[in-house]
Amino acid sequence: MAEFHETGKKGEALAADHLRQNGFTILETNWQSSHKEIDIIAQKGDLLVVVEVKARKTAFFGEPEEFVTRSKQKMLIAAANHYLAKHDLDLEVRFDIISVLFKGEKYRVTHIEDAFYPTL
């Protein structure tokens, strides 16, 4: 497995653990709909949280969360709409980013709630 895939998988596992420790239930990981993918779909009460996970080994080029482009946001919004329709859910949806920055064996998890909002 390529090193960046390994970093990504490790970051997603840490993000899921972080969510569980904060009272979220993980509904899906790596949920796919055609060419769209959501890293983590979690729920807490009546809130559905769509989470994009960004993991990096360095912040030299910027913090991991800075790499969630507007294009990626639009894709996540479309995928979330499909997930809601497919599962016939009527829940409030929030879009979060969890960034994981590794430094050797140590790491920093940053959870950004309401990282972006759907726009018309």
**Predicted structure pTM score:** 0.88
User: pLDDT at residue 61 above 90?
Assistant: no
CB-based contact 97:109 (threshold 8 Å): no
CB-based contact 65:112 (threshold 8 Å): yes
pLDDT of residue 62: 60
Domains within the chain, CATH numbers bracketed: 3-116 (3.40.1350.10)
Output the average pLDDT for the chain. Answer: 87
pLDDT of residue 7: 75
- pLDDT of 62-113, one tens digit each? 665 777 888 899 999 999 999 999 999 999 999 999 999 888 788 889 999 9
